[in-house]
């Protein structure tokens, strides 16, 4: 057991904690003699969901087995990340059913956060594609739960932020693909209304949709954006070496940000320049292209440790969802950022379809906006606190996997099944052995 300084991807907060990396055999003994444990995968949760200064942080990186693919299903250990899984399944003609914007999230983390992707409007979240989960509970016993057997524990674990027990492995349903390429339609939109109309149309015609939004644009340009809509490409769309090896998949990292970069990219002036370039480089007319999986799904993964660009103070990723009938809150939030000239480097708008069965899972039908905000941005705390209230009143939610500053007072309104989740936790973990800064801060 070592002492390490760790944090979420946003580096808020950073804490010194005891860290252990047990194998499956060691885990039961560890749980039996430890009063407070925090499960952790690759640390890609942005906030404090896998952070705790007290107790022991239990990292899953020794649980690395990937089984054979049978009938489109694969059994995967919790410590395997999507990058490792993709390298195993893509050359065999399969793809993960749901993926977020990074492939470095572990299977355990994907289940705990019930991750969503660019295809939520069609395929829902990650938990809906899980056949069963093997999980070690607080008393050291190992149970296998599914939507049909141990359903309460299953659906509390899906999106449960690692608070029901330690996920050991799971059976994941994959989707078949013919190539490792994505056929992409790219369009530029001059304002938010135009973008949202186009996104609803693309949802009907494309498997994946996502938009980048310029948070510094004002006036009639508010919400100017670039929208990408994609589908898995057929072999007929490929040429040259891609046609000769249509399932080739060998991604690589291009650059790495040093531990202490000599510059700070995320300032109003530099973000304004970047946003102008990013918008203008996109053709005014719709264009099509064939992109790699990494280009389309994981553009930032090519930059190692890009979170360091925000400096020592780190950043908050604020992600909220609101139902269709309250879509005006997307524009209201962009107005708030624009007026205050908040230098949001990465701002992503997506559509959500139906909810999963996860009791405290985040996605619900409507719109979701995710924005990276430097913690040094002036007045950002009160701004977000106030907007939390508006989101809650509208029937929306803030994403626990991205959060490090939400207040307990609004959580029950955002998550109507919270009391049910809390009651199950009291039943299977009466001493609250599994906990985190997030769980204690929000009373989960």
pLDDT(441) > 80: yes
Residue 41 vs residue 308, higher pLDDT = 41
- Domain segments of the chain: what residues? 73-177, 181-408
pLDDT band at residue 171 under the 50/70/90 scheme: very high
What is the CATH number assigned to the segment(s) 181-408?
A: 3.40.462
pLDDT band at residue 266 under the 50/70/90 scheme: low
Residue-averaged pLDDT of the chain:
93
pLDDT band at residue 267 under the 50/70/90 scheme: low
For residues 159 and 155, what is the distance between their CA atoms, to the nearest angstrom?
A: 8
What is each CA distance from 359 to 146, 256, 303, 341, in whole angstroms?
Answer: 14, 38, 35, 37
pLDDT band at residue 130 under the 50/70/90 scheme: very high
pLDDT at 284: 82
What is each CA distance from 171 to 20, 144, 213, 425, in whole angstroms?
Answer: 25, 11, 36, 23
The CA-based angle 1-63-80, given to 5 degrees, is 120
Q: Tell me the mean pLDDT in the region 262-277.
A: 65
Which CATH architecture group holds 73-177?
2-Layer Sandwich (3.30)
Indicate the DSSP class of residue 401: G
Do 378 and 340 meet the contact criterion of CB atoms below 8 Å apart? yes
pLDDT at 269: 64
Residue 25 vs residue 149, higher pLDDT = 149
pLDDT(151) > 70: yes
Place of tokens 């280009």: 295
pLDDT at 277: 64
Do 395 and 323 meet the contact criterion of CB atoms below 8 Å apart? yes
Q: Six-digit token pair at 247?
A: 């399932």
pLDDT band at residue 345 under the 50/70/90 scheme: confident
396-418 pLDDT, tens digit per residue, is 999 999 999 999 999 999 999 99
Do 256 and 306 meet the contact criterion of CB atoms below 8 Å apart? no
Do 278 and 226 meet the contact criterion of CB atoms below 8 Å apart? yes
Question: Which own/partner pairs from 54-57 qualify as long-range (CB within 8 Å, at least 24 positions apart)?
Answer: 54/17, 55/17, 55/18, 55/435, 56/1, 56/17, 56/18, 56/19, 56/20, 56/30, 57/4, 57/6, 57/17, 57/18, 57/19, 57/20
Q: Residues, the chain, total?
A: 444
For residues 322 and 337, what is the distance between their CA atoms, to the nearest angstrom?
A: 17
Do 94 and 73 meet the contact criterion of CB atoms below 8 Å apart? no
pLDDT(172) > 90: yes
Q: Six-digit token pair at 144?
A: 């296998």
Which range is least confidently modeled, 66-80, 84-98, 271-285, 318-332?
A: 271-285
Cis preceding-peptide flag for 225 (omega within 30 of 0): no
Do 186 and 226 meet the contact criterion of CB atoms below 8 Å apart? yes
357-377 pLDDT, tens digit per residue, is 999 999 999 999 999 998 888
- Which pTM value belongs to this model? 0.96
* Three-class secondary structure assignment of 109-153: HHHHCCCCCCCHHHHCCHHHHEEEEEEECCCCCEEEECCCCCHHH
Q: Six-digit token pair at 102?
A: 């990074």
pLDDT(261) > 70: no
pLDDT band at residue 273 under the 50/70/90 scheme: low
213-252 pLDDT, tens digit per residue, is 988 888 888 888 999 999 999 999 999 999 999 999 999 8
pLDDT(386) > 80: yes
pLDDT(270) > 80: no
pLDDT at 264: 60
pLDDT(268) > 80: no
317-326 pLDDT, tens digit per residue, is 999 999 999 9
pLDDT at 257: 83
DSSP-derived 3-state class of residue 106: strand
Do 318 and 370 meet the contact criterion of CB atoms below 8 Å apart? yes
To the nearest whole percent, how much of the chain has pLDDT over 90? 80
pLDDT at 238: 95
């Amino acid at each position: 057991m070592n002492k390490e300084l760790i944090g979420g991807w946003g580096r808020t907060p950073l804490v010194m904690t005891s860290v252990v990396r047990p194998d499956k055999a060691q885990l039961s003994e560890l749980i039996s003699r430890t009063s407070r444990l925090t499960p952790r995968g690759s640390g890609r949760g942005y906030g404090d969901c896998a952070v705790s200064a007290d107790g022991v942080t239990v990292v899953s990186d020794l649980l690395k087995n990937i089984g054979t693919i049978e009938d489109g299903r694969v059994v995967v250990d919790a410590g395997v990340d999507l990058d490792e899984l993709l390298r195993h399944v893509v050359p065999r003609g399969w793809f993960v059913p749901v993926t977020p914007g990074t492939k470095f999230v572990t299977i355990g983390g994907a289940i705990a956060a019930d991750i969503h992707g660019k295809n939520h409007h069609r395929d829902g979240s990650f938990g809906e594609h899980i056949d069963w989960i093997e999980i070690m509970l607080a008393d050291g016993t190992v149970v296998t739960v599914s939507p049909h057997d141990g359903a309460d524990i299953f659906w509390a674990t899906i999106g449960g932020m690692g608070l029901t027990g330690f996920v050991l492995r799971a059976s994941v349903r994959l989707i078949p693909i013919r190539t490792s390429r994505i056929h992409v339609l790219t369009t530029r939109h001059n304002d938010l209304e135009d973008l949202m109309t186009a996104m609803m149309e693309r949802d009907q015609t494309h498997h994946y949709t996502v938009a980048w939004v310029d948070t510094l644009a004002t006036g009639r340009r508010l919400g100017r954006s670039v929208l990408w809509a994609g589908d898995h490409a057929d072999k007929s769309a490929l040429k040259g070496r891609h046609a000769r090896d249509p399932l080739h998949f060998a991604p690589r990292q291009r650059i790495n940000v040093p531990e202490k970069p000599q510059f700070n990219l995320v300032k109003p002036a530099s973000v304004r320049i970047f946003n102008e370039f990013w918008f203008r480089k996109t053709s005014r007319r719709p264009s099509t292209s064939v992109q790699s999986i990494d280009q389309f799904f994981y553009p930032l993964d090519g930059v190692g440790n890009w979170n360091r660009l925000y400096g020592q103070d780190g950043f908050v990723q604020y992600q909220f969802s609101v139902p269709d009938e309250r879509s005006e809150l997307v524009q209201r939030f962009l107005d708030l950022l624009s007026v205050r000239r908040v230098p949001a480097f990465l701002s992503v708008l997506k559509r959500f379809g139906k909810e999963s069965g996860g009791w405290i899972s985040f996605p619900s039908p409507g719109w979701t906006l995710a924005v990276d905000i430097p913690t040094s941005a002036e007045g950002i705390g009160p701004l977000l606190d106030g907007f939390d209230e508006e989101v809650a009143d509208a029937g929306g939610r803030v994403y626990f996997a991205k959060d490090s500053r939400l207040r307990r007072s609004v959580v029950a309104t955002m998550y109507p099944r919270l009391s049910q989740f809390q009651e199950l936790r009291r039943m299977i973990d009466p001493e609250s052995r599994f906990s985190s800064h997030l769980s204690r801060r929000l009373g989960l």
